[in-house]
Amino acid sequence: MAFAPVGPEASFFEVLDQHRASLLAALRRGGGEPADGGTRLASSSEVLASIESVIQDVLTSLARNKAPVFTIDNRSSWENIKFEDSVGLQMVPHCTRRKIKSDSPKSVKNFALILKILSIIYKLVQSNTHATKRDIYYTDSQLFGNQTVVDNIINDISCMLKVPRMSLHISSTSKGLIAGNLRYIEEDGTKVHCTCGTTAVAVPSNIQGIRNIITDAKFLLIVEKDATFQRLLDDNFCNRMSPCIMVTGKGVPDLNTRLLVKKLWDTFHIPVFTLVDADPHGIEIMCIYKYGSMAMSFEAHNLTVPAIRWLGLLPSDIKRLNIPRDTLIPLTKRDQMKLDSVLKRPYVTCQPFWRKEMEIMADSKMKAEIQALTFLSSDYLSRVYLPNKLKFGGWI
C-alpha cells in the first residue's frame, strides 16, 4: 500500500466499497470512459491551426468587401442547455448563436478584443507557456476594462474554437486546497505530497500537466467552505478517516479545483461526496461540481462528475439530529429565489431525494450552516456526523 494505515479498520469502509463497486458497474453499463475520462484535449498544432483558420476567414471577408463577423454559441441561454444524467449540463448540438460584427458600434470593440486575446493565445501556444486570465487582463488593463470582459472572451473563444480552455494555455488562478492521501508530480517536476496533517496544499494551476498521481483514498470529500475544511484539518479528520482526500474550492469552485476533482474521479473512480451548508447557495455549489454550470456547459465533459453524492448537511439531518432552532437562519428573499431556481433546473427531476431535501428546506423556510453541528459538540462534525454518514451510507 502506498500509505501506512492510520484510519479506521477495513470494515468501516464496507459500504463505501460497495458504493464504489456500484459506481464502477454503472460506468461499465454506460460504456465506460476512456482513460482520459472522455475528454479530448487539442494539441498545440491543432489550436494554432484553429486560430489561423479564424484569421483566414476574417481576411476572406475583407477581401470580399464584407465586414468580418464572429459567430459564437449563446452560452448564457438556458434554451441552449440540455441535461444528461451521465454528463450533466451541456450545450445542445444546434444551439442559438450570436454574431459579433466588426461594423457595428455595439460590438466592434468586442470583435477587436477577441482578436487581441486570440493573438495572445497564439503566442502562448507557440511558446508553450501558460498565463492566467489575470495575467492576460494585465497585459492591457486599460483596453480590457475589467477582468470579467477577459473571462467572458476567453470562454467565448474556447466555445468558438471547440477547444477546452486548458488547451489554450490559459490557466485559471487556483484558490482551492487539497489534503489527504495523494501524491503527484507537477509539470515542472515538482513532487507534491499532500499530507494528512494540519496543512493543506494549493490546487495546482496546471491540472493537465500533473502526472504520476498516486492515491489509495477510499473517498474524496469536497468541502464547500474553507472554514469547515480548516476545522476538519484541525480535527485531524484526514488521518482518522484515512485513506481519504479532502478538497475545498472555498465557495464557488474555480476551474482548476473542478478539473482536479474530475481528474481524480476519472483516474481512480473513488466515491466523491460533498459537504455543504444546508442552504440554497451550498446546494448550488454542489450542483456545479456534479452537473456543471451554464456558463461552462460547453466544456461539461471536462468538468462534471455526475457520480457525486450529497453527504451533508442535509435539511433532513437538522430535524433528525434535533439541531437547536435558534442555530437556524431564516431563508432570505434571495435564498428563496435561488432555491426556486435550483428546483426548476433540469437535473433535479432525476434526483428525487435531492428534491425532497430541498422541499423540506422550502417548507421550513430555514437554513443551517455546517457550523450548527458544533452546538451538539465542538467536534461533532469530524468525530460523529461524518464518520457515521460514511460508515452507514448516509448520502443521497
Partner 1 sequence: MEGTAVAVCEILKYLIIHWKCETGVSNGALLEGQLVISMEALNSNHQENTLHCVTTIASAGSTYGGLVLKKFIKEIQSILPGFSAKLNWTSEEASSSQDISGVTPFQMIFEVDEKPRTLMTDSLVIKNFLRRIIMVHPKIRFNFSVKVNGILSLEIFGTKNEPTLNLSNGIALVINYQHYVSRPKFGAAQLLCSRIHPVLGHPVMLFIPDDVAGMGSLGELILTPAAALCPCPKVFSNQLNRVSSVSIFLYGPSGLPLILPSQKQPTTTVFEDTSFFIDWKKYHLCLVPNMDLSLDRDLVLPDVSYQVESSEGDQSQNMDSQGQTLLLFLFVDFHSGFPVQRTELWRAHTLLTVHLSAILTESHSVVQDSIQVTVDQALEQYHQDAKDHQKLQASLSVAVNSIMSIVTGSTSSSFRKICFQALQAADTQEFGTKLHKSFYEITQHRFLPHCSCEVNQQLLPEKNAEQSTEDAHENSSPELLTGPGLPSFDPDRLDERNLRWEG
Taking CB under 8 A as the binding criterion, the range among 25-33, 100-108, 146-154, 205-213 that sits at the site for partner 1 is 100-108
149 binds partner 1 (CB under 8 A): no
Question: H or E stretch including 318?
Answer: helix 315-320
User: Which span sits near partner 1 by CB under 8 A: 53-61, 243-251, 302-310, 372-380?
Assistant: 53-61
Total residues interacting with partner 1, rule: CB under 8 A: 31
Eight-state DSSP code of residue 82: E
If one asks whether residue 212 binds partner 1 (CB under 8 A), the answer comes out as no
Choice from 11, 65, 128, 322 touching partner 1 (CB under 8 A): 65
Task: For partner 1, give the closer residue by CB, 51 or 339.
Answer: 51
Q: Binding of partner 1 at residue 115 (CB under 8 A)?
A: yes
Contact stretch for partner 1 (CB under 8 A) within 99-107, 271-279, 351-359, 387-395:
99-107
d(CA 143, CA 195): 43
Give the DSSP letter string of 17-71.
Answer: HHHHHHHHHHHHHTT---TTTT--PPPHHHHHHHHHHHHHHHHHHHHTT---EEE
DSSP annotation of 203: P
One residue of 28, 123, 162, 344 binding partner 1 per CB under 8 A: 123
Q: How far is the CB of 67 from partner 1 (least distance, A)?
A: 5
Considering only CA atoms, which of 314, 260, 246 is closest in space to residue 289? Answer: 260
Rg over CA atoms, the chain: 22
* 102 belongs to the binding site for partner 1 (CB under 8 A): yes
Q: ω before 339 within 30° of 0 (cis)?
A: no
Contacts of 39 (CB under 8 A, 6+ apart): 164, 301, 302
Q: Which residue, 2 or 59, is less far from partner 1 as judged by CB?
A: 59
- C-beta of 69 vs 321, nearer to partner 1: 69
Catalytically active residues are 138
Stretch that binds partner 1, among 1-9, 34-42, 117-125, 288-296 (CB under 8 A): 117-125
Q: Which is nearer to partner 1, 10 or 143 (CB)?
A: 143
Q: For residue 92, state whether it binds partner 1 (rule: CB under 8 A).
A: no
Handedness of CA 39, 43, 44, 46 (dihedral sign): negative
DSSP, res 383: I
By C-beta, is 100 or 260 nearer to partner 1? 100
Cβ distance to partner 1 smaller for residue 113 or 370? 113
Give the DSSP per-residue string, 116-182.
HHHHHHHHHHHHT--EEHHHHHHHSHHHH-SHHHHHHHHHHHHHHHT--GGGGTEEPPP--EEEESE
Kindly write out the interface string for residues 9-48 of this chain, putting x where it contacts partner 1 by CB under 8 A and - elsewhere.
---------------------------------------x
